[in-house]
Structure formats: structure tokens, C-alpha cells
Structure 1
Amino acid sequence: MIRNYIKIAFRHLNRNKAYAILNVSGLTLGMTCGLLIFLLVKYHLGFDNFHANADRIYRIVTEQHRDNISYTAGVPSPLGKAFRNDYTFAEKVARIATFEELLVTVKQGKDVKKFSEPDGVAFAEEEFFQIFNYPLIEGDIRTALKEPNTGIITERLAKKYFGNQNPINQTFRFVNKIDVTVKGVLKDLPVNTDRRTEIYVSYNTLKQYNEWLASEDSWGGIQSSMNCYALLRPGVSTSEVEKVFPAYVKKYRPTSKNVHHYKLQPLADVHFDARYGGAMEKKNLWVLSMIGLFLIVTACVNFINLATAQALKLSKEVGVRKVLGSLRGQLFWQFIAQTSLITLIASALAMVLTALALPYVNNLFSSQISMNLFSNWQLWLFLTGIVLIVTFLSGSYPGMILARFQPVTALKGKLSQQHIGGFNTRRALIVTQFAISQILIIGMIVIARQMHFAQQSNLGFNKDAIVMVPIVSSPDQAKTVKEKFRQIAGVESVSLCFSAPSSQNNWGATPFYDNRSEEEAFRVSMRAADNDYLSTFDLKLVAGRNLFPSDTTKEFLVNETFAKKLNLASPTEMLGKNLRVNGNMVGPIVGIVKDFHDQSFHEEISAVCIPSASDNYNSYAVKINTNNVPATLASIEKTWSEMHPDQLYEYEFLDEQVAAFYETEALMFSLIQAFSVIAIFIGCLGLYGLVSFMAAQKTKEIGIRKVLGSNIPQILWIFGKEFSTLILISFAIASPLAWWAMNHWLQGFQFHIEIGAWIFLTAIGSTFIIATLTVIFQASRAALLDPVKALKSE
């Protein structure tokens, strides 16, 4: 019986190739999107779930409460040791300080190899590898990080640095000053871990790199690079632990208005909590999952529309089968067999498309997703479930309609709309499809407009044609390099600075204003720079003057928000008043800078302080002329490399750094753009099915109208008024839902666009245009049919 079902299904699809191609196309696209989203969601949900006792591993994080609340994954460096010594809540506690983008040099004989390691170096306590499951393939984890200047590296780096030599007891150097002897080799890190650092150095080496951070008295500041992890004992609750943390604040920061709240963050949340640098928020995974579900449902809806439109062609076949004794159940399962054949073909094609699309998805998400067909049982389970659900969801309704045809009515060709489900069901399905499409279109337009707004709005400074080059030398040598840069043809201005006006590299400090004994209740964003900072970035002075040239902190510039935070009647009241920040940086306020966006549009404008402090300069900001950019960049590189022959040259344009603020938004825009196109395409297939059905039903009516003098536009309007009504209904449903969703999304920005009526008009207008082309393509064939043939259609 099953063999017979399959044989008949093949014959039917072979006779109706257009029907088969349309259905296979729609289902293939929907299932491909579903598979890609499943693999992406599965990849992210699997991060760091391979560690033993993962449910008891926590990271200690910090909430800083002042005039607002800020979040950081960093903690004061002494906290880990104090917590380990003072309490028995944890089996293991480990501190780890990670510094990215560091230079590593390996000397082999006369050859010196230089490597820039983007994931940097981590200074880790021994217990870190007793908390986490990163196994060694060589060396002893209990002793590998015990002594100063010892470390472990991954298999990949061992081969990269030392080739086929035994890496144990080999030496490498980082930042051209710290030598490390390899005492262990880690198994290469799995792809689903947030810990990407491949070089681990003993924690007691940290004082050679950053003496302040290594000090056990450094309670006064927090760097995001310093993390602390704890493996809690069984039965210990997070609330028990968090109750003891306020004691550290009272003991070590009793006078600070910057109230620290230390919290325990479960390891399972580290990947998803954007407040602490999580790579993928769960809400984004939910959005992607819902889009995938919508696209699969849309494909099923399209199948049902095409199948019911095709039912008229099968009516006489069904009538003959019933006369010959076929039962309803047999006819139903015959159609299910046909549907399953289409679904299996679509799923096979979807697997191929998924494999072809994965490299692009990995590039887009900076991920390492793989299908692993022979070991990924979850993928096969998902695919099997999708095939079964799609088969019965798509095939049941048309199958039941065909099975209930009355044989006499079917053989006479007298079937009406009511016999095959009427228009209302198909109308509802079309409305569903286009409502989903319009929600995606509106979302795409809003995200695109917000990104354009963020990137093109006046930031309060000039970000164009400015190259950020790292400072890797002493303050005196940095001044020499600056002067050499200024002599290059094409260079307009150079400034030594901590960072650009808007940067992800933030340095916060507590201000003491006007010799007050108590610190202010807000933090300032430090932008240490020389006297060329304002001219290089085109920052505007609203009062006072610029800094005088100096290597040490003698004067300050502040922004307008600084005055607002102090509740001063006029910003000029600050001029001449003393300011103390960061403990030992003291001097008068000599100028007030017009507010500029120091962070992304997600954040409010901070109070900003600009002192001269050459020890804190990290970058050369080089403003160049755009007439001959390649030659100018080459000259900058040559000059820098001549002054730093033992370093690797790197640079970045400032506008690229600013664009990096909105990587998540750019990613979501790309995805929604692609899914919108797919949803519209599948929706048009459904509309094509509806028009096909209408054309078959109205063949005789069209013939009569043409005999009575109707022209082709009048005939086309018969179909046009139907789809116009459906699109308007779908728009009425989609627009409030889209407005609510995108308005909620925009609340994540302190500076954002308003959702104007034109956005909705654009969405419905584009939908109308696409739908019109679809309808004309199919309806024109009915409109051009010879009326004589149309009248003989029965």
C-alpha cells in the first residue's frame, strides 16, 4: 500500500511540475532558515556547559551604584584572596587577569618571530584549572603555574611558536619585557567557550606587568581585565554568599560614594548577559527562534494554499477513486504520502543549502558552527521533527478536503468554494503570511534608520580620516614619534591621548571638586590627552581656553555635562576651580568643552575630564588628508616601524571603532533583511496559489465579462481588489505589533529616532508593489484566455 502511495505521488508531481517546484521552493527556504537558526541557537546555548560542576561555578561581578548603575565583570584584585581566606563557601577560588592584543616574541637561534595575539595573555592562579575543565596534554597542572615566569599554552600555539620541537621548557617573551618558560600544553580550546585566551602565565608574574593591579591593597579601583571565579560547595546558595560581600565595601571602601555591590553570576549566564560583556543576549536567540518558526509556518501556509488551489484539478481523479471503492482514509493518506515526498525533497535540499550557507553565517556571527552530520543527533532529531510536523501540518487540511469530496459532484466538475474549504481559510492564511512579512519589513527599516542615525549624526567631534595608532614606547619617545608623524605629507594633525573622544576603552575615576573633602556622587570618564586633542578631533570650547603643553597633570578640561552633574547655574563657574581625580591628579579647570558622545548612543553622555598625563597615553590620533590616503598610511607605518623595530605595526580608523559600537544592530539588520526577503518570497508563492485558485473558479465568469466588453485591466481588478483587501488587513494586524516591538527595541538607546508614519507607508507600499507583480504574472494568463475557450471550460 505504501509503495503504491509513493508511486502515485511521484506520478502526480511529475504531471504537475510547476506545483511541485513552487511547493518545494517554499518549503526548502523555510526549512533552510529553520535549520540555520537551530544550529545557531544550539551553538550559543552550548557555551561552557562541558565543565564538571558547571552549575556550581560562578563569576564575581560588580554593580557600581552612583548617580546611575553601571556593571562590570571586573572586581578589585584583592577580593578573590580575601574571599578565599575569610569564608568557606567555596571549594576553589581563582583570580585571572586577561590582557588582549599583546605582542609575543619567540627567539630560535638568530631568528626572532613576532606574533600579535588578539586574545592576549592571562595571569591565572593555579586553582583556575581546577575549577574549569581545560585539560593539559603535557605537564602537571598542579605545578605549571606555581613559580613566577612560568606558563602554559595551547597545542595550536605550541606548534605555531616552536614547530615540531617539544614546547616544554621553551621560552617566549611578551610585551618585550617578560620572559615565560612553558611548563604545560593545553588541549586546544573547544569552540563553545567564552575563554579564548591561549596563553596562561602564573598569577605571581602579574606584578611585572601591572604592579598596581597585582597589589593586595588595590581596593580603590576596578579593571574589567581582573576577574574572579568561585566553585561553591554543594548546598551553598548565592544569597548566602552575597550577604557577606557588603562587609568588604564597609571595610575597604568606607568613605566612597561609589557603592560597590558584588554579585555572583552563574557560569550559564556569562555568555548571555550583555551588561557584563556577554556575546549573545538570550532575547536575540528568542527573536531568531520566533523568526525561524514564522518562516516555517509561512512555508506550510503557502503549501496549504497551493494544495487547495490544486484540489480542483484532482477532483475527477478523486471521484473515480471513490467510485472504485477508495475509502476516505486511503485518499487522506495518499495525499499525506504526496506531501511527505515533497517535504523530504525539500529537507534534502535544505540540508544542502544549510551546508553552503554555514560559512557565511559563521563569518557574520564570528562563530564556528558545524553540522557534524554523523555525530549531531540533535540536528537529526530536529530535522525529523520538522519533516513530520511540516508533513502533517501542510498535508492534513488539504488531505481532509480531498477525502470528503462527493464522488458524483466531483465527476461532474460541480465543486464549489465550499467543497474545497472556501476563500475564508485561504484569506486567513494569506493575511498571516503578509502580516509576518510586514512586521519584518518594518523592523528592518527601523533598525536601518537607527544605525544610520547613530553613524551619521553629529557626535560632537570629527571622526573622519583619523587613524588611531598604538603608543608602545616611553613618553619621551612618543613625543619624538609624534613630531615625525607631523612632518609626513598628508598628515594634518597629531595628538597623544588615552583614547578617542568616543571609545570602548574607558577609564573611570572619582572627582573631588573645588578642594572638597568628599568625592562627588558621580564618576567621570577620563580622556587624558595633550594640547592638540581639541584641534585633531575638532572639539569645541564653549568657555575658557585649551590646555597648555605639559607632560604632567597641571590643568583640566571638562565637558558641559560635568557642570550639570554639579548642579551649577552656569558652566563658567567651574573655571579656575581645582579638581582632583584618580588620587594624585590635581589642577585647575581651564576650559569647558561642548558635550560630545563619549560612548555609543545606547548610553547617556558622561561627565568627561581631559587632563594632560603622558604616562596614560595609549594612542597617536593622526588626522590625515584624504587626497592620497594609501601613501600617507604607508609613510605612517614606515615611520612607526623605524622607531619600533621590535614591535608589530597595527592601526585602525576611528570611524571603524565607532561603527563597532553597533555590531549587534548591524548583525540583526543583516539577518532581518535576509529573512524579510525570504518571507516575502514565500508569501508571494502563497498569493500565487490564491490567484491560481481564483482563476480556476472564475474562468467562466471571465469569459462572460470579456464577451460583454470588459478589457484586461478590468479583468485584472477582479483579482486585485481581493489581494488589496488582504494586504490592508494584514497591515492593520502587523503595524501595531511592529510598532510595539520596535519601540521597545529603541528604548535600549538613550538617543534614537522616532518611528514615523512614513516607515509604515514604506512597508505597505513595498508589499503592494511586490504583490501586484505576483498577481499580474498569474492573473494575466486568465485575463488573456480566449473567451470562447473560457465559456467551454465546463
Structure 2
Amino acid sequence: MLAHYLTLSLRRMWRQRQVNLIRVVSLALGLASGLVIFLVVNYMFSFDRHHPHMNRSYWVVTDIKKENVMQTDAAPRPLAEVLRRDYPFVESATRLETVFGWTISVPAAKAGAEKKFNEARNVCFAEPQYFNHFLVEWVSGNPATALSSPNTVVISERYARKYFDNADPMGRTLRLDNRAELTVTGIIKNPPANTQLRYDVLISYATIPGLEQNGTMQDWEGLQSMCFVLLRDGTNPAKLTTTLEEIRKKNLPAARAAQFAYHMLPLADLNHERSGMAPRPVLYALIAVGLLLVLAACVNYINLATAQALQRAREVGLRKVVGSTQFQLIRQFLLETALLTVFAVIVSLVLVQLAMPLVNGTLAKQVDMLHPDISILDLFQPGGLKWFLALVAGVIVLAGLYPAWVLSRFSPTKAITGQLTTQTVGGFTIRRTLITGQFVLSQLFLIIVLVISAQLKYMQKVDWGFDHDRKLTVWLSRSTPAPFDQLRNGWLQLPGVEKVTYASDPPASPYNRPVPFSYHIPSRPEAFETRLRAADEQYLKTFGLALVAGRNFRATDTTAREVLVNETLVRQLGVSSADAIVGKTMRVKDEDRVIVGVVKDFRSGDLHQPVMPVTLVHDLRHTTMAVLTLSPNYPASTLKTIEAVWDETMPRQVYKADHLNDLLASFLNMERLLAGFVQAFACIAMAMSCLGLYGLVTFMAEGRAKEIGVRRVLGAKTRQLLWIFGKEFGRLILIGFLVAAPLGWWLTNGWLQQYAHRIPTNTWSLAATLGITVLITAATVLGHALKAAMRNPVEYFRTQ
């Protein structure tokens, strides 16, 4: 019997191949969209799930409570040592510190040149307990002793090849920022892509005291390290919470203790909280979008299947006459749906595989993810296979059950004698509801696309308050003082270089941590904090910053006493005018400094924040970059000659340069990623909506054929007949809009609130959405409706 059903189903599918092709394409689009989303979400949830003892591993983080609560991903340096020394319920505690912008050099071999690498993000200081806490596969070396001594280092296989080519790295030497010689004591496997702990170079934590001033290792107010705790089996996690509170009160002065709060988070939340790249609400929202797109594809299938139901009336009637039961007919029609779904799944898998390189590349570029390797093969892993098979089964049931139930209920007498009408196969009620749901989905996506695109365009054109074109940032070594005058004079002699300034940051920077300061009472910090920039006397000129009071830095100030503040800081202090603050003293970074001028406001961070209080300190010792202004038509060789001057002046340092506009553009990476995803989903939702409209207009043409024929005989014009279709679809569009508009307004308005500088909320996006939907709907249904309206009425009467 099953073979008989299969043969009949294949014959029927081939006979209606045009309609079935539309069904398969519709299902494949929805499934492909859902699968891409589910694969990305599944990958994000897989981060750092491979470590042992996940159920008792915790991450300790700190909140700083001042004018606002600032969440950090770090903890004080002494915390891990105190936990593992004084509290027996802690099986292990480990700390690590990520290194940014340090130089690692490979000393020259007998007949070679020294290699230099500027490293960021993949290098950290770690303790030996790191290897007990996290899953690390060893190639060579002893995990117990590899990082127990100062000036030792463990590297991954790929970094072993990067530094030493094919030579054996064990026992070789690496130079850390020209400040320490490190001996390679171990080789480990490359870290997996799905981890936030993506470290290829692990330097012994015991090396830090030799690099820094005395006392920093016992600093309870600084937040330099990440702290991870492994509890003993059976320990109540609440005990760690109580202990952290006890440690905070014991080791911090009462006045400062109130400004800090320690929290413990499960290790599984490393990719979803604080410094993680995938907050859980975002992932849950993506899952909802994926389900909606798959549901929209099922709706299309139902519409197309029921629109063709009348064509199968005689077949159903004859089957019932010869003895087929309703259950047998449902099984037959579900088999057809299953076959079409299998074809759709195959097509969707091909589409997903074609999309994966683009998805992986986008994630790596926009989210700074380490070479993601998301693949359709993830669907066939034990975890992925369960939800994939459940999804396919759900699609078969959702898409096939209702049409099968409708067809199997036909009266055999009416079916054979041609007395069935559209009311017999469910009328418009369910179909209207389904199409309206698709209009809601597509219009909601359109509203979101228009608002995100407008906000992104607005952010790209925002006035930063300083000159940022033709600026090249050259990164300075943190450890070796640069010969500032020699570098500046060498660069200014090059054709194409107009200005040179030294600074810790450009005016707008992603590294924008607030710093406490005192003004009114030297011993008491102000209620708000300032953003600090170290700069030289050329800073204002280079970035086109205007003074509103006072003067610029003097080159003769070598004690870093002179500071400039911006207008916002003056206003928040409650000082009557900018001139009134000039000459006054403020205490910042534990030193008394003199305010010599007030600078016009500029943006110091991304556009999520308003203009913040900023303080510029005349301090070359803490500058980390040189900013060169290039002439409008600088020669093509300028960038190479800039590097040549660097290599001649600082031959042991790595040259690393970026254009400032690229840095400012990086502030918009998340918005670009979001806009790209939403635009793609909106296009897919509209495509599936068009396919659904095709099903409904087909159903209307068949169901109202006699009415159209009568109207034509009585003299109705084509435009009057078209109004039959236009009135129906116009009503559905309007109903969908009335649902989508307030929902879209609420979602986009809430999203815009995170930006201090945002587009005004108005009705233009709603009006544009309605107009676009009307145009797309008209383009979709006009051809089919026109064909039905212009058909010879005699043909309608013959077939009814």
C-alpha cells in the first residue's frame, strides 16, 4: 500500500510540477532562513561548553557604582589567590590578563633577522591553575610546571609555526615588549573557534611583578584580571556569593567598598554576559525570527495546497466511492507533503551551504570572531540532529495536516458531480488570517529595515566635533619611550605629511573608561567622572579642536601639570562660565593639575553615549600613538616612507598603523551587521508573502469564477472586475498594517533609545512601509487577476 501511495504521489507531483515547484521554493526559502539562524544561534550557545566541571565553574565580575553602575568583566588581582588560600570549599581559582598592543620578538638566529609581531587579544598572562580549570590539549611540556616560574611561556601550534617556522620551539626564547626574555616551556593545541578564551600565547602570571611597580599585585581597587573559580563538588554556589561580600568588606576601605560589588556568573555565560559577543536576549530574538520565517513558509504551502483543492475533488470522490477512509486519504496527502518537504530540505541545505561562507566571513569581520567554522555538518551532530529532525517533522505536520484534513472531508457525491465550492474547502476565513499574518510579518520587517537603515545613515553623517579625515594613527610601544622629536622631525620632512601629534587616544576612542577627579574639595571625588586623554601641544591643531577660554598647552610644561577640559565638564561642575574655571586646580590620577583652557565639546565615544566630560593632560609619558595628518593629495609612496622613518628610528619596534576613519567606522560594525541580517530577512519575508498572495489570488479566481463570468456578461469593465481582487487584498494589507505598525513602532523606538544621537521618531517609516507593501502586492497579483478578469466568460460557465 505504501508503494502504491508513493507511486501515486510522484505522478501527481509531476503532473502539477509548476505549482509544486513554487511550494518547494517557498518551503526551501523559509527553511534555509531558519536553518541559517538556528546554526548561528547553536554556534553561539556552544561557546566554552567544552570545559570540564561546567556545573561548578564560575566567573567573578565587578560592578563599579558611582554616578552610574558600570559593569566590568574583571576582578582585583589578589582575589583569586585569597580564594584558593583561605577558603577550603574553593577547589581552584585562577586569573588571567589579556595583553593588548604588546610586541613579541623572536631573537635573530645565526644567519637571520629578528622577527617582530604586534600582538593583541591572543596573548595573556595566566597561572598554572589555568590548565586544571579549562580544557587545554597538550602537545609537549608539563602542565603542572610550564607556567610556575617567571619568564616562561606556553604557545599554540599555529603560533609556534608563526614564530619559529618548522623549528622545535621548546626551550627557545621570545622577547616580550623588549622588557623580558621568555622561555618556551610548552606547546598546546590551537584553541577552538567557539571560545572566548582564544589565547595562543600564555605567559606565566609570575612574570608581571618584574614588569610593574611594587604594590600593584595587592591592589584591591584596580580591576586588571579575569577571575575564575572552581568550587568543590557538592558546594552550594550561594556560599561563594557570601564569601565575595565578606572579602569586599574586609579588603576595601569602607568609603570605597560601597562603590564595588562582586558577582559570580556561570562559566557558560562567558559568551553572553559582560564582554561576550552574544547576549541571550539577542539570541532568543533570532530564534523567534527563524521560527516566524519557517512558519511563513508553511503558511504559503497551506495556501497553495488549498487553492488547488478543487482540482482534486473528483480524485477524492472516486477514492471514497471505492472504499478509501478519511484516515487513508490524510495519510496519502501527508505523504505528498513529506516528499515535497524532503525536496525543499535538500534545496534549503544547498542554499545554506552557499550562504555559510558569507555568514562566517561577516561574523569574523563585524563581530571580531575567531575564524568561525559554522557548517551544515553541524546539523548532523547529535545535538543539532535532534532539533533539525524535529523542525522537519514540524514543517510536515504544519504544512500538510490542514490541507489533508480539508481534502479528506469532501463529500463523494458533491465531489464527483462538481458541486463543491470554495466554501466547502474552508472559504476565505483561514486563508485570510494566514495571508494577514504574512502581511504583518513582512511589514514588520520593512519598518525595522527602514528605521535601522535611516539610523545607520544618520550615524555615518554625524558631526564628531573634530577633524578626522586624512589621519593616520601609528601605534607606539607601551614599554620603550619613543624619541618623540626625532620621529616628528623625520615625518614632517616627508612630502604628504602636514602635522604630527602624540596622544593616548584620538578624541573619540573605544577605550573610554571613566576616571574619578576632584575639583571643589581636593580630598573628595566629584559625583561624576571624566574621560582622560594624554596629549601634546599639537593635539588641538591636528584635530581642529577650538578653545573657548584660556590657552593651549605650553611645550615647556614637562611635569604634566597643565590640563584642558571640555565645556560639558564645566557645565556639570556648575561653574558659571568657561573663563571662570581657567587657572583653577583639579586633582586627577592622584596629582594636582592646573586647568589652562576650555575646549569646545566633541564626541569622545560611540553614538550610544552623549557628549561626556573630557580632560586632556599634557603628558607625553602616557601617549600610545602618533597621529599624522596627510595632505589632500599625498603621494602614493607616503605610507611606505612613513614606515621607513619608523624602522630607521625604532628598528626593534613593530610598525603598526591604521586610518582614523577606519576606527570611527568600527563603531558601526554591530549596526551594519544588524542591518544586513534584517534586510536579508525582510527580502525573504516579502518573497514568501508574494508566493502566498499567488495562492490566494488563484483561490479567488477559481472560487469566484461564475461571479466574474456573470459580471462580464452584464457589461462589467476590466477595472471593475480587478476591483474585486483589489478590494480583498487592500483590506488584508490594511489589517496587517494596523497590527504591524504599532508593534514595529514600539520595537524600533525601544531600539533607538540606546543611542544618545538618533533619528527622530516619526511616521515616515510607517507610511513608506504601507506604500511599498501596496506596490509589491499589486505587482504580484495584477497579472493573475488581469488574466482572470479578461478571460472569456463562456469558459467560466463551461467549467462551473
* Category of TM-score, reference length = shorter chain: over 0.9
Note the C-alpha offset of 1:42.
Answer: 1.2
TM-score normalised to structure 2 length: 0.94
- 1:711-790 equivalences under 5 Å are 711-790=717-796
The one-letter amino acid paired with 1:657 is L
**Structure 1 pair 422/454, CA: closer, same or farther in 2 (3 Å)?**
same
Write the deviation string for residues 275-294 of structure 1: whole angstroms up to 9, x where unpaired.
x2111111111111011000
Alpha-carbon distance in 2 for matches of 1:577, 1:240: 49
> For residues 408 and 333 of structure 2, what CA distance do their matches in structure 1 show?
9
Give the Cα separation in 2 of the matches to 1:705 and 1:634. Answer: 79
Structure 1 contact 544–591 (Cα < 8 Å) conserved:
yes
Is 1:570 the counterpart of 2:577 in the alignment? yes
Is 2:492 the counterpart of 1:491? no
1:647–1:557: structure 2 CA closer, same or farther, 3 Å change rule? Answer: same
The amino acid of 1:231's aligned partner reads: L
**Structure 1 residues 380 and 374 mapped into 2: Cα distance closer, same or farther (>3 Å)?**
closer
Q: Could you tell me which residue of structure 2 aligns to residue 434 of structure 1?
A: 439
Match of 1:402 in 2: 407
Structure 2: gaps spanning 5 or more residues: 365-371
Equivalent position of 1:560 in the other structure: 567
Alignment of 1:635-654 (within 5 A): 635-654=641-660
2:390 to 382, 385, 394: 385
Residue 122 of structure 1 corresponds to 124
Task: Determine helix, strand or coil for the equivalent of 1:420.
Answer: coil
Query: 2: distance between equivalents of 1:643 and 1:66?
Result: 44
Paired residues for 1:41-440 under 5 Å = 41-106=41-106, 107-111=108-112, 112-211=114-213, 215-223=216-224, 226-246=225-245, 247-248=247-248, 251-256=251-256, 259-273=259-273, 276-366=274-364, 367-372=372-377, 376-440=381-445
- Cα distance change on mapping 1:455 and 1:517 into 2, 3 Å: same
Measured in 1, the distance between the counterparts of 2:626 and 2:374 equals 38
1:514–1:577 Cα contact (<8 Å) kept:
no
3-state DSSP of counterpart to 1:418: coil
Note the alpha carbon deviations across 1:746-780, whole angstroms, 9 max, x for none.
23223322321001111111111111100113222
Residues 295 and 495 of structure 1, relative CA distance in 2, 3 Å threshold = same
Once the 2 structures are TM-superposed, how far is the Cα of residue 514 of structure 1 from its aligned partner? 5.3
Q: Residues 495 and 238 (structure 1 numbering): CA distance in 2 closer, same or farther, change over 3 Å? A: farther
Change (3 A) 1:537 1:238: farther
TM-score normalized by the length of structure 1: 0.95
Structure 2 residue aligned with 1:24: 24
| Aligned match of 1:579 | 586
Partner Cα distance (1:537, 1:687) in 2: 56
Question: Which amino acid in structure 2 is aligned with residue 317 of structure 1?
Answer: E
Match of 2:14 in 1: 14
Matched residues in 2 for 1:4 and 1:647: separation? 77
SS in 1 for 2:697: helix
Secondary structure (helix, strand or coil) at the match of 1:568 reads: coil
Deviation for aligned residue 1:364 = 1.4
Q: Please tell me whether the aligned partners of residues 258 and 521 of structure 1 are also in contact (alpha carbons under 8 angstroms).
A: no
3-state SS of 1:587 partner: strand
The residue identity in structure 2 corresponding to 1:641 is D
Within the candidate set 659, 666, 677, 1:660 is matched to 666
Stretch moving more, 309-318 or 363-372: 363-372
**What is the rounded CA distance, in whole Å, between the counterparts of 1:397 and 1:196 in structure 2?**
50
Question: What secondary structure, in the 3-state scheme, does the structure 1 residue paired with 2:534 have?
Answer: coil
Q: Secondary structure at the match of 1:359?
A: helix
The alpha carbon displacement at 1:373 in A equals 5.9
8 Å CA contact retained: 1:439, 1:737: yes
Write the deviation string for residues 628-681 of structure 1: whole angstroms up to 9, x where unpaired: 474443433333333333343322222222232232222121111101100110
The whole-number CA distance in structure 2 between the counterparts of 1:587 and 1:22 is 73
Distance in 1, matches of 2:343 and 2:515, equals 62
* Counterpart Cα distance in 2 of 1:434 and 1:484: 64
Contact in 1 for aligned 2:248/2:257 (Cα 8 Å): no
> Residue 374 and residue 24 in structure 1: after superposition, are their counterparts in 2 closer, same or farther (change >3 A)?
closer
More displaced, 503-512 or 441-450? 503-512
CA distance 1:84–1:379, shift in 2 (3 Å): closer
- Label 1:318 to 1:143 Cα distance change in 2 as closer, same or farther (>3 A): same
Contact 2:48 2:270 in 1 (8 A): no
| More off after superposition, 355-364 vs 626-635 | 626-635
> Do 2:563 and 2:594's aligned partners in 1 also have CA atoms closer than 8 Å?
yes
Give, in whole Å, the separation in 1 of the partners of 2:760 and 2:239: 45
Query: Which consecutive unaligned segments of at least 5 residues does structure 1 have?
Result: none
Closer, same or farther: CA 742–342 of 1 in aligned 2, 3 Å: same
Q: How does 1:694-705 map to 2 (within 5 A)?
A: 694-705=700-711
TM-superposed deviation, 1:405: 0.9
How big is the shift at 1:568?
A: 2.8
Structure 2 equivalent of residue 33 of structure 1: 33
Contact 2:102 2:477 in 1 (8 A): no
Cα separation, 2, equivalents of 1:252 and 1:447: 45
* 1:495-574 alignment runs, 5 A limit: 495-513=501-519, 516-549=522-555, 550-574=557-581
1:553 shift after superposition: 0.7
* Alpha-carbon shift at residue 105 of structure 1 (Å): 2.6
- Report the Cα offset of residue 716 of structure 1: 2.2
SS in 2 for 1:419: coil
Q: Is this contact kept in 1: 2:476–2:624, CA < 8 A?
A: yes
SS of equivalent residue, structure 2 residue 593: strand
What's the CA shift for 1:626? 3.5
SS in 2 for 1:518: coil
Q: Deviation at 1:335?
A: 0.9
Moved more, 231-240 or 661-670: 231-240
Aligned partner letter, 1:195: L
Structure 2 CA distance, aligned partners of 1:566 and 1:249? 31
Aligned with 1:479 (options 477, 482, 485): 485
Give the number of equivalent residue pairs. 788
Using the TM superposition, give the Cα deviation of residue 144 of structure 1 relative to its aligned residue in structure 2, in angstroms: 0.4
Closer, same or farther: CA 89–625 of 1 in aligned 2, 3 Å: farther
Aligned residues: CA RMSD: 2.2
Letter in structure 1 aligned against 2:716: S
Distance 1:648 1:405 in 2: 79
Alignment-derived partner of residue 626 in structure 2: 620
Q: After alignment, is 740-749 or 370-379 more displaced? A: 370-379
* Conserved 8 A contact 1:494-1:532: yes
